[in-house]
Amino acid sequence: MMAWASLCATFAALTAIGLSMDRHQEQMLGRELGADAARAWRAAGWLALPLAAAPCLAAWGASVGAAAWLGVLTGAAMGVGLLLTYAPRLLPRVAAAAVPAAAALALAA
């Protein structure tokens, strides 16, 4: 359960980081955001990443949790990469849905 919560949160965080990059903005939104918006997304994404690791650490403790999160990070990044390639417009919506999903999963566990 916690692994899934972590996966959803990591997915959302990586999408936010993606939204800070010109090329990926173009893909997801069809336009480029300004420098301020890009900076805001970047900050949000990097701040969310450690938060996204929290469910793994809570469930497994520091050593196993960190390893598990590296796996989660790989899986989430692959997911973002695939969606960005084949359904870029869908990605921000999926990521937006992933945020409440992560919260619900973490609270349910």
Site of interaction with another protein (CB under 8 A): 3, 14, 17-18, 21-24, 61, 63-64, 67-68, 70-75, 77-82, 84-86
For tokens 């566990």, what's the residue?
A: 109
- In the bound state with another protein, the residue whose beta carbon lies nearer, of 12 and 79, is 79
- What are the structure tokens assigned to 20, written together? 């800070």
Other beta carbons less than 10 A from residue 106's beta carbon: 19
Q: How far is the CB of 27 from another protein (least distance, A)?
A: 8
For residues 86 and 107, which CB has a smaller minimum distance to another protein in the complex?
A: 86
User: How far apart are CB 44 and another protein at their closest, in Å?
Assistant: 16
Between 44 and 77, name the residue whose CB sits nearer to another protein.
77
Distance CA 93, CA 38 (A): 18
Whether the CB-CB separation of 13 and 102 falls below 8 Å is answered with no
- Distance CA(90)–CA(74), nearest Å, equals 20
CB of residue 79 to another protein, shortest distance in Å: 7
